[in-house]
Amino acid sequence: MMSTTETENICGLRREDFQTTIGGKQTDLYILKNANGNEVAITNYGGALVAIMVPDKDGKRANVIQGHDNIQDVINSPEPYLSTLIGRYGNRIAKGKFQLNGKKYELFVNNGPNCLHGGKTGWNAKVWDAVLMNRKELSLTYVSPYGEEGFTGEVKVHVTYTWTDEDELVINYLAETNKKTIVNLTNHGFFSLAGIANPTPTIDNLICEINADYYLPIDETSIPTGEILKVADTPFDFRSPKPVGQDIDADDEQIKNGAGYDHCYVLNKNEEGEMSFAAKIIEPNSGRTMEVYTTEPGVQLYTHNWATGYPGQHGATFGRRSAICFECQHFPDTPNHPYFPSVQLCPDRKYKQKTIYKFGIDK
């Protein structure tokens, strides 16, 4: 069930290259394989996706997610969130401050003046307990202690990756707390549908559709202003498919604030928590497609605006705008915007989320 040599898997990753001990916990590599022979490779360090091997229109498989080929490079990546699980709070919290039950909390500031993706050492940098349930399903568990990164409450989180015979990567999240706290989880997959390479092609020609009539504008530190604006007549309108690069450098204050796209979209929903279509991309040269479905109210579109051409797996390089991210989540800085959908989790409730990345070929 777990591959140990290059000859046994198509992603060319070796289990021993991902094995080390951190804080008494073992890291490892887990490979999920479906009936089509397509693969997903995951390490329990940060729950990082290190390979998704799917075919193009000619049947040629390539890795369509950015990752590294050994554990040390994962740990020391110039992009610490590269295709990892994100918690306890995905996205930004303004100035690292919020109030809960009348008490003020201060978090580690690690992104300009703000707290990003859980603080100095988020869940992307933790070793999760892993159980390979079967050849298609990996279960990951982490217990976030009380006070970790300044957050209140102990949170037990359980994430399951399932790789279906329909080439769907299904991510199920479940979290519980012993004290009222805030939780906002996501997966920060950096998708490169053309296949990673040296250099990995830019995403400019990707055809993108996002099922959202509204988005959240941001200030110059990437914190939501509190407005909820229509995408109509802006560079943020992906309601009809268009190339990602078409408006990515538009003369627009919001584009400048994000150095491209780094904004949360308010997904069109009939009811709260419903599983619904969020986005789709088509890579015109390879014919590969990816659809995103989620129960979350928002999706952060991020276009890898700060990458520098750093090295990745098997000699690939990851340059500026060589990947696209669809981070399904609640909205950024929600604790400081009371009318955003709540991120509070109480001991008598469970946090649940489901997101699907479905791969296919454009006919």
Q: What does the alpha-carbon distance between residue 86 and residue 40 come to, in Å, rounded to a whole number? A: 19
Q: What does the alpha-carbon distance between residue 29 and residue 16 come to, in Å, rounded to a whole number? A: 8
For residue 265, the cross-strand partners are: 215, 299
Sign of the dihedral through C-alpha 68, 71, 74, 78:
negative
Q: How many CA atoms lie within 13 A of 130 on its CB side?
A: 24
Query: Which residue is catalytic, options 176, 291, 296, 327?
Result: 327
Q: Name the one residue in this structure whose structure tokens are 């204050």.
A: 253
Structure token pair of residue 211:
């099922």
Q: Name the one residue in this structure whose structure tokens are 């053309």.
A: 194
Closest by Cα among 42, 292, 39, 49 to 167: 39
**Residue 188 falls in the annotated catalytic set:** yes
Structure token pair of residue 75:
């740990």
Is 82 exposed, middle or buried, given 0-12, 13-18 or 19+ CB atoms closer than 10 A?
buried
Q: What does the alpha-carbon distance between residue 54 and residue 195 come to, in Å, rounded to a whole number? A: 9
Query: Which residue is catalytic, options 188, 263, 304, 330?
Result: 188
Q: What does the alpha-carbon distance between residue 195 and residue 65 come to, in Å, rounded to a whole number? A: 8
Confirm if 315 and 140 have CB atoms less than 8 A apart: no
Confirm if 333 and 227 have CB atoms less than 8 A apart: no
Give the CA-trace dihedral at 239, 291, 294, 159, to 10 degrees.
-150
Strand 262-267, strand 325-329: pairing: unpaired
**Residue 158 falls in the annotated catalytic set:** no
Q: What does the alpha-carbon distance between residue 261 and residue 283 come to, in Å, rounded to a whole number? A: 18
- Which positions are catalytic? 188, 327
